[in-house]
Amino acid sequence: MTGTPFTATTLGSARIGPNRQLKRAVEAYWAGRTDQAQLHALAADLRVAGLRELHAAGLDSIPVNTFSFYDQMLDTAVLLGALPPRVAGIADDLDRYFAAARGTGRVAPLEMTKWFDTNYHYLVPEISSSTTFSLHPDKVLDELTEALALGVPARPVVIGPITFLLLSKGVDGTAPIDRLDELLPLYRELLSTLRETGADWVQIDEPALVTDLHDDPAGLVTRVYGELARATDRPAILVASYFGDLREALPALAATDIEGIAVDLVRGTADPVASVPALTSKLLVAGIVNGRNIWRNDLSASLATLATLLGSAASVAVSTSCSTLHVPYSLDRESGLDDTLRSWLAFGAEKVAEVVTLATALRDGRDSVDQALDACARALAARRSDPRVHDDGIRERIAAAVDAGVARGPAAQRRAAQDERLGLPVVPTTTIGSYPQTSEIRRARAALRANEIGVDEYERRMRGEVASIIALQEDLGLDVLVHGEPERNDMVQYFAEQLDGFFATENGWVQSYGTRCVRPPILYGDVRRRHPMTVTWIDYAQSLTDRPVKGMLTGPVTILAWSFVRDDQPLWDSANQIASAIRDETVDLEAAGVGIIQVDEPALRELLPLRAEDQPAYLRWAVDAFRLSTAGVADATQIHTHLCYSEFGAVISAIADLDADVTSIEAARSHMEVLDDLNSIGYANSVGPGVYDIHSPRVPEVGEIVASLRAALDAVPAQRLWINPDCGLKTRSTDEVEASLRNLVTAAHIVRAEL
Ligand SMILES: Nc1nc2c(c(=O)[nH]1)N[C@@H](CNc1ccc(C(=O)N[C@@H](CCC(=O)N[C@@H](CCC(=O)N[C@@H](CCC(=O)O)C(=O)O)C(=O)O)C(=O)O)cc1)CN2
Ligand SMILES: [Zn+2]
């Protein structure tokens, strides 16, 4: 066993490419436009460029095996021979991998869910009684060899057995964590193979240890790392935690014979680290540079914290708090930033530079980095006093709105007023908002950005899209229509671009899942709505039809969840500011005659704190922010909300507390179980359980939708039921959407006739 302590590192890096090259290459391969050789060559180029950059920046230990063609959990399932049997028949390795990720005509993909409390989605491995684990280490060995050949001090990274099993899904009654003992020999074998290939250190990621997913994390740690540390022929082991505090798992880890522990000092605190005596024999990797957010590090404060840790461990290395997967590549690619705002920020490359600066200061003393410390202090002072950051006028208005109350009239009274105004048929049909984002739509937006067309021409084209989407819905016979959201690049970014206090990046792409990326806006100051944001679009759509068109807004919790948020005030404060802007928009929509307004909150579950004790306080402010944004309208205006992407268990009562008149909710994959959950907490407003899964290209048959609707009617009376897909349709093709919705409307007619 080797393992000289290192001093400066990061826990992982982005892999989509600074220009989203990997997205384009993978999509080209899927479309059959390129072959595997081309795809592998591009991937190797991206990896090599990334390694060289981290090495040149001055890191002395560099993570590898952080590349992925789709997702690191899926990679781990491959590593451990745990792909589901239904893809086993696909002979080609890469095609089998992509089949597990996104399905084929014949096989369903793995489920996708949020990675802890981030907007990154991982693929959920399925562990069944027929799973027989076996080791397939080619990927990690190849990436290690590739890095060593470049002379890079490479540290392979793998997801640990505890996290792998706790995040997997048990099939046919299997509890994945019960299979832990079967994985340990494989990890031992992996360690020895890595050592033979030249690894001095290995990083084993165990972020599940910062959650409440298991009731005895310390016991798991003792079993797993006690055992792995006993292997003799192995690299030094660094167990990495991130996204929170290790609590009782920290002394348990320190008591084993592993060589290093990485802790998140942004989400967690330094005090408990200093009080674990067994750490004095270990390398402590101090995650002090925030890998989840884009604010410049307070170098002076970080040095003070690091100083308190120096005596607690045998040595201290400086690191980002987690992989920089969650932040954009580099500030260099943003030309629209003013110098002041730029000076407050650090993206991936700048964070690595901060790590190196802090490590240099620890080694050579503060004076060796005094220029960096000065520049940092100036930038932080400018941020604190910038008038865009605090605006008393905005704060007074919000306080007044909060005082005006977050409650609407009683639900029954609202229902009566809405029924009279809207006159909808029983079990009305609708869709969730977006229609396919075709390449013509995106091209028009790209042309607008490049000044090839003007705003008038762009808006003319988007109105054309709205008109054809309205015509399609009338033809299909849907009851409540939407305008289709063609003018929105993204349901969060679109609003951020129109609100003071947000900066929308040009190239700040972050992977959301697979080849799909988002550009999270930066919330840096107090929020003000400059002008109505959606009214002309909805007004135009409504002018084309006699059927009601829903107003379509994104809620405050989701706007927060999918942005880089302020770190200088509590989240609830930012949530209320955004809520107040959305409230103004609902009031303007109502004044324009819009009778139904949907306020989407798909990220309600995502921001739920990882520790149970922190959850009630979050749910209180999240619910209040939603109610603040929707309580400004009359009883006769119908408020809808939409939720997706989650197991709703932990937030089910909060969903009822939102008090929307209609809640459309993802349900197809869970077979309508969510309706029983809603009943069990006394939810009495209307609900639109998604009757088909929009994440798959499959067109649902009429019979399937009828069966779902009958199941829904077992749980909910017809007077409270709506019919809709699971989520928006923006990622689907026009053909799929038209065929699916035709079947949905036919199914609705069949079920109505049975009532
Ligand atoms: N922020 C956010 N988070 C979310 C969701 C969401 O909708 N938004 N949904 C959930 C799932 N996540 C998703 C995340 C991304 C996409 C998605 O489709 N992203 C698009 C980009 C969307 C976008 O910003 N589009 C822009 C820019 C499009 C673009 O790439 N344009 C080309 C040029 C145009 C062309 O030729 O296509 C370019 O700039 O190079 C636009 O429409 O204006 C992609 O990766 O392809 C879908 C779901 C959870 N989290
Ligand atoms: Zn959705």
Q: How confident is the model at residue 408 (pLDDT cuts 50, 70, 90)?
A: very high
* Main-chain dihedrals φ then ψ at residue 678, nearest 5 degrees: -65, -40
Phi and psi torsions of 260, nearest 5°: -150, 155
Sequence-ordered strand ranges (E) for 54-144: 62-64, 111-114, 121-124, 126-127
Alpha-carbon torsion angle 645, 649, 650, 653, nearest 10 = 110
Nearest residue to 557 (alpha-carbon basis) of 592, 519, 603: 603
Mean of pLDDT over the chain: 96
Residue 463 burial (CB count, 10 A): 18
Check residue 2 and give its pLDDT: 63
Q: What is the CATH number for 697?
A: 3.20.20.210
Amino acid identity, position 37: A
- Coil/strand/helix, residue 303: helix
Write down how long the chain is. Answer: 755
648 backbone dihedrals φ, ψ, rounded to 5°? -90, -5
Asked whether 731 lines ligand 1 (CB < 6 A), one says yes
Distance of CA 722 to the CA centre of its chain: 28
Same domain, 491 and 631: yes
Q: Which ligand approaches the C-alpha of residue 433 most closely?
A: 2
Question: 3-class SS at 348?
Answer: helix
If asked whether residues 95 and 238 sit together in one domain, one would say yes
Q: What is the pLDDT of residue 104?
A: 86
Distance (Å, rounded) from C-alpha 726 to C-alpha 668? 7
- Check whether residue 330 and residue 423 sit in a common domain: no
Q: Which atom of ligand 1 is nearest to the CA of 439?
A: 37
Taking the CA of residue 728 as reference, the ligand 1 atom at the shortest distance is: 7
- Assigned domain for 208 exists: yes
Query: Which pLDDT does position 673 carry in this prediction?
Result: 87
DSSP 699: P
- The fraction of the chain above a pLDDT of 90, given in percent, is 92
Nearest alpha carbon to residue 107 among 96, 123, 117: 96
Give the structural domain span for 287.
21-385
Is 278 in the same domain as 217? yes
Radius of gyration of the chain (CA): 26
ipTM > 0.95 for the complex:
yes
Q: What is the mean pLDDT of residues 332-355?
A: 96
How much is the pLDDT for 512?
Answer: 96
| Assigned token pair, 589 | 């929509």
C-beta of residue 345 within 8 angstroms of C-beta of residue 522: yes
Do 233 and 87 reside in the same domain of the chain? yes
Angle in degrees, CA 520, 526, 528, rounded to 5: 90
Does residue 621 register a pLDDT over 90?
A: yes
Specify binding-site residues: 23, 114, 119, 432-434, 485, 516-517, 562, 600, 606, 642, 644, 657, 666, 727
Nearest CA-CA partner of 83 in 121, 27, 71? 71
Asked whether residue 407 carries a pLDDT value surpassing 60, the answer given is yes
Last residue of a domain, one of 385, 403, 425: 385
Please give the tally of structural domains in the chain: 2
Query: Which residue's CA is the closest to the ligand 1 atom numbered 12?
Result: 512
Does residue 449 sit in the same domain as residue 381?
A: no
Please indicate whether residue 136 is annotated as part of the active site. no
Q: Which pLDDT score is estimated for 3?
A: 82
Position 713 in a domain? yes
Asked whether residue 372 is domain-assigned, the answer is yes
**What's the confidence (pLDDT) of residue 105?**
77
What is the predicted pLDDT for the residue at 252?
A: 97
- Ligand 2 center to residue 353 CA distance, Å? 38
pLDDT digits (tens, 9 = 90+) for 446-484: 999 999 999 999 999 999 999 999 999 999 999 999 999
CA 737 to chain centre: 25
Contacts of 754 (CB under 8 A, 6+ apart): none
Same domain, 183 and 264: yes
The answer to the question of residue 406 being in a domain is no
What is the DSSP pairing of strand 154-159 with strand 62-64? parallel
- Domain identity same for 727 and 590: yes
Q: Are residues 379 and 420 in the same domain?
A: no
Domain for residue 228, yes or no?
Answer: yes
Q: Is the CB of 443 under 6 A from ligand 1?
A: yes
pLDDT (average), residues 315-330 = 98
pLDDT digits (tens, 9 = 90+) for 708-745: 999 999 999 999 999 999 999 999 999 999 999 999 99
Mean pLDDT of 51-62: 98
Domain assignment of residue 402, yes or no: no
pLDDT band for position 272 (cuts 50, 70, 90)? confident
440 pLDDT more than 70:
yes
Question: What are the structure tokens assigned to 182, written together?
Answer: 């079967």
Pick the catalytic residue from 55, 531, 695, 749: 695
Which of residues 345, 370, 385 is at a domain's end? 385
**Distance (Å, whole) CA 201 – CA 238:** 7
Q: What is the pLDDT of residues 667-680, one digit of tens each?
A: 877 778 899 999 99
Residue 31, both tokens: 């479309």
Q: Which residue has the higher pLDDT, 476 or 272?
A: 476
Per-residue pLDDT tens over the stretch 100-116:
999 887 888 898 899 99
Which residue's CA is the nearest one to ligand 1's atom 31? 442
Instruction: Verify that 331 and 471 share a domain, yes or no.
Output: no
For 525, the token pair is 């100051």
Q: Is the pLDDT of residue 1 over 70?
A: no
- Find out whether 711 and 670 touch, Cβ atoms under 8 Å: no
Average pLDDT estimate for 363-383: 97
Handedness of CA 360, 362, 366, 367 (dihedral sign): negative
CB 21 less than 6 A from any atom of ligand 1: no
Same domain, 317 and 368: yes
Q: How far apart are CA 638 and CA 451, in angstroms?
A: 40
- How many angstroms separate the CA atoms of 550 and 304, rounded? 53
Residue 565, amino acid:
V
pLDDT in tens, 546-560: 999 999 999 999 999
| DSSP codes joined into one string, 617-673 | HHHHHHHHHHHHHHTTS-TTSEEEEEE-SS--GGGHHHHHHH--SEEEE--TTTTTH
Considering every ligand atom, which ligand is closest to the CA of 447? 1
Q: In whole angstroms, give the CA distance from residue 272 to residue 53.
A: 34
> Within a domain: residue 408?
no
CA dihedral (671, 674, 675, 680) positive or negative: positive
The structure tokens listed for 137 are: 């280490």
Distances (CA, A) of 31 to 35, 89, 101, 166, 465: 10, 21, 15, 35, 25
Q: What is the pLDDT, as a whole number, of residue 670? A: 76
Q: Which of 734, 733, 730, 664 is nearest to 490 (CA)?
A: 730
Query: Do 284 and 161 reside in the same domain of the chain?
Result: yes
Residue 409 lies in a domain: no
- Answer whether 448 contacts ligand 1 (Cβ < 6 A): no
CB count in 10 Å sphere of residue 358: 26
In this structure, what token pair is assigned to residue 221? 């740690």
